[in-house]
Amino acid sequence: MLIDRFAYGNRLRHTDPALKTAVSLAVLVLCLVLDTPAASLFALGWMSLLAVAVARVPVRVFAGILLGESTFLALATVGIAVTVSVAPPSAETLWRGHIGALWVFGTANGLSVAAHTVSRAIGATAAMNFLALTTPLVDLVALMRRLHVPDALIDITATVYRATFLLLDNFNQMYTAQQCRLGYISARRSMQSAALLGGNLFIKTFQKGKRLQLALDARGFEGTLRVLPAQYRPNPVLAVWGIIGVTAMLGIRILL
Amino acid sequence: MTFAFEFSNVQFRYDGLSDCALCGLTVAIPPGEKIAVLGRNGSGKSTFFLHCNGLLRPQYGEIRFGGKPLSYARADLRQLRRRVGIVFQNPDDQLFSASVGQDISFGPLNLGFSSAETEERVRQAAELCGVTHLLDRPTHALSGGEKARVAMAGVLAMEPSVLLADELLSAIDPWARLDIFDILQTLYDRGTTILLATHDLSVVRYWATYVIVLQKGKIAFSGTPAQLLQNSSVLEATELSKIWWNVDMTVEE
Ligand SMILES: Nc1ncnc2c1ncn2[C@@H]1O[C@H](COP(=O)(O)OP(=O)(O)O)[C@@H](O)[C@H]1O
Ligand SMILES: [Mg+2]
């Protein structure tokens, strides 16, 4: 998986995940709480800059992922900015039109709500992307353990992560095997093949889970998946960048 | 001599199956040997291994480890698993952690070692298995041969006195096999008892010091490779003669 590759290969790999999480959570929370489009857009730029310039995640990767997410966001906000109704608009509108018997229109208020929502969401998303692209899940799990998150929750997180890869592997293998035997040659065959794949994927993954349990027991598993925590280096540079970013967002809010 | 393992008339049937997987298995495993475990698919090799480590319990019969009957009490099982390690057929079934180093640390931590001791064991096991440069890597981003070596390191970090390797060689290329054999040789030199389930008869001819052959959940043969090679009736009965074509049969005494 793409995200995972960069999480393991970036320049901030050995930075304490607590710091990375703090920076990205602070920015995320400020985006949500301040609700100032300018501050959120600044957050978008700032987090992109940190990811690209400091962590050295390739611009294309960061931009590509953000673009994908923005498409979803854009679709969602169209719903907010545009009103569709059978009755003609009662308040003042910026524009109006109709499709058949339906009125379609936008109000100044709707547009402003949409702008706020988009900028908030996109700033917060950029902050999350920064964390996802610089911090492997292993590190986040270790951090959860340091913060005394209950063991059961941690084990579930770690196992789901691992299972995702097993599931994807299984899926790829079975999909390729079906393709080789022309399983997707027509729409009809595709439907049947996909159904078979779905059913078998569940069974295979279940069996795999059972074998994993045996292997864990063989190594003396007694209820918690304990492993050594990773070693991290302090990173004052990121701390300073983080503080500058947060201050700037607050400043923008006060000035505007 | 105290045997590593003694199975007497062990029977086991998986839930919902009418046929037994182990059908009165009786065998004595000598300590400190390199043992090849042969047998067709379904002959019970994996089931046999799972019994050695206490993961499955015989439904009938008895198993002794180091002369004493196996006890399935929690503390005894922990002791057993510390001394008997299994490397599974498919490393993907075994690697659960996101990073290699962390995966290797799992066993020693379960045995109650401190972080410092665990780190030392991880370091040694990684070095033995040649995976030191991979410690930081995610377990899903490894080649087949690397996965096999990491899986081994995870077991060896517990420093078992008996190592069971289940068809470890089937999924990896001949060069990766050489690495595995180097590791096994080091362990053998240290006195570890090694059982290797395999379909590769050259392993019997050139590597093993002892051989057991399973057939339909029973022992069809146990003895030295030379004894097996000279015993044409066993070779016929176990159908090993059919696949022996690529191995030099001459036995030097
Ligand atoms: N988890 C399981 N559930 C049900 N049956 C099993 C299971 N594992 C193995 N068996 C059956 O037990 C018999 C012995 O299998 P196994 O010990 O895996 O043989 P081998 O490792 O020599 O191929 C086979 O008939 C197999 O189908
Ligand atoms: Mg098997």
Q: In chain B, whose CA is at the least distance from the CA of A232?
A: B136
Residue B224 lies in a domain: yes
Interface test with B, best of A161, A169, A227 (most B CBs within 10 A): A227
CATH code for the domain of B28: 3.40.50.300
Distance (angstroms) between ligand 1 centre and the Cα of B58 equals 14
Most confident range (mean pLDDT) of A88-97, A165-174, A194-203, B220-229 is B220-229
| Interface list for chain B against chain A, based on CB atoms closer than 8 Å | 50, 53, 55, 74, 78, 81-82, 85-86, 88, 90, 92-94, 96-99, 101-103, 105-107, 109-111, 115, 118-119, 122, 136-141, 154-155, 158
CB of residue B44 inside a 6 A radius of ligand 1 = yes
Task: Please check the confidence at residue A36 and state whether its pLDDT lies above 60.
Answer: yes
Q: How many domains does chain B have?
A: 1
Contact of A66 with A59, CB cutoff 8 Å:
no
Ligand 1, atom nearest to B48 Cα: 17
pLDDT digits (tens, 9 = 90+) for A184-205: 778 887 888 888 888 887 788 7
pLDDT tier at A206 (50, 70, 90 boundaries)? Answer: confident
Minimum distance, in Å, between the CA of residue A67 and any CA atom of chain B: 27
CA of B10 to the centre of ligand 1 (A): 15
Distance from CA of B246 to the nearest CA of A (A): 31
Q: What is the ipTM of this complex?
A: 0.84
Query: Is residue B249 included in any domain, yes or no?
Result: no
- Where in the sequence is the domain holding B72, given as residue range(s)? 5-242
Contacts of A138 (CB under 8 A, 6+ apart): A158, A230, B97, B98, B99, B102, B138
Ligand 1 contacts CB of residue B157 (under 6 A) = no
Instruction: Say whether A13 sits in a helix, a strand or coil.
Output: coil
In the β-sheet with A83-85, what is the strand arrangement from edge to edge?
Answer: A83-85, A102-106, A95-99
- CB-CB: which of B81, B110, B158 is closest to A226? B110
- Look at the alpha carbons of B187, B188, B194, B200 in this order and tell me if their dihedral is positive or negative: positive
Provide the mean pLDDT of chain B. 90
Of the two residues A7 and B153, the one the predictor is more confident about is: B153
| Mean pLDDT of the region A205-225 | 84
Point out the ligand 1 atom lying closest to the alpha carbon of residue B40.
22
Q: Which residue of B has its CA nearest to A229?
A: B102
Residue B56 resides in a domain: yes
Q: Which of B83, B192, B91 is nearest to B134 (CA)?
A: B91
Which ligand has its closest atom nearest to the C-alpha of B90? 2
Checking if the pLDDT of B253 tops 60, the result is no
Closest CA to B26 of B3, B42, B56: B3
Ligand 1 within 6 A of CB of B147: no
pLDDT value at residue A10: 83
- Segment A148-177 shows an average pLDDT of 80
pLDDT band at A113 (very low <50, low <70, confident <90, very high): confident
Q: Whose structure tokens read 């030199």?
A: B189
Structure confidence by residue, pLDDT tens digits, B24-72: 999 999 999 999 999 999 999 999 999 999 999 999 999 999 999 999 9
Amino acid at B83: R
Report the pLDDT value the prediction gives residue A1, as an integer from 0 to 100.
Answer: 60
Domain annotation covers residue B11: yes
Shortest distance between the Cα of B118 and any Cα of chain A, in A, equals 8
C-alpha of residue B42 to centroid of ligand 2, in Å: 7
Q: What is the mean pLDDT of residues B8-22?
A: 94
Atom number, ligand 1, closest to the C-alpha of residue B167:
21
Cβ neighbours of B74 in A, within 8 Å: 222
Residue B253 lies in a domain: no
Instruction: Summarize pLDDT for B96-135 with one digit per residue, the tens.
Output: 776 899 899 999 999 889 999 999 999 999 999 999 999 9
The dihedrals phi and psi of A152, each to the nearest 5 degrees, come to -60, -40
User: How far apart are alpha carbons A134 and A51 in whole angstroms?
Assistant: 8
Q: Which residue among A5, A138, A215 sits closest to B98, beta carbon to beta carbon? A: A138
Q: Which residue has the higher pLDDT, B85 or A99?
A: B85
Whole-number Å distance between alpha carbons of B222 and B228: 8
Strand partners, B69: B64
Is B252 part of any domain? no
Ligand closest to the CA atom of residue B22: 1
**What pLDDT is attached to residue B137?**
84
Q: How confident is the model at residue B252 (pLDDT cuts 50, 70, 90)?
A: low
Would you call B82 and A220 a contact, using CB atoms and an 8 Å cutoff?
Answer: yes
pLDDT value for A234: 85
Residue A56, amino acid: R
Neighbouring residues of the ion ligand 2, judged by CB less than 5 Å? B 45-46
- Residue that wins the pLDDT comparison between B7 and A154: B7
Q: B93 in a domain, yes or no?
A: yes
Whole-number Cα distances in Å, A113 to A107, A110, A118, B161: 10, 5, 9, 69
Q: Of A138, A215, A225, which is closest to B94 when you measure between CB atoms?
A: A215
Q: State the nearest Cα–Cα gap between B3 and chain A, in angstroms.
A: 21
Q: What's the CA angle centered on A56, arms A119 and A144, to 5 degrees?
A: 70
- Does residue B69 sit within a domain? yes
Helix (H) or strand (E) holding A84: strand A83-85
CA angle at A228 for the pair A223 and A231, rounded to the nearest 5°:
155
With a pLDDT cut of 90, the percent of chain A lying above it is 20
Name the more confident of A89 and A18. A18
Which amino acid, B233?
A: S
User: With an 8 Å Cβ cutoff, are A219 and B81 in contact?
Assistant: yes
Give the pLDDT confidence of B190-219 residue by residue, as tens digits. 999 999 998 888 888 889 999 999 999 999
pTM for the predicted model, two decimal places? 0.76
Residue A27 has a pLDDT of 93
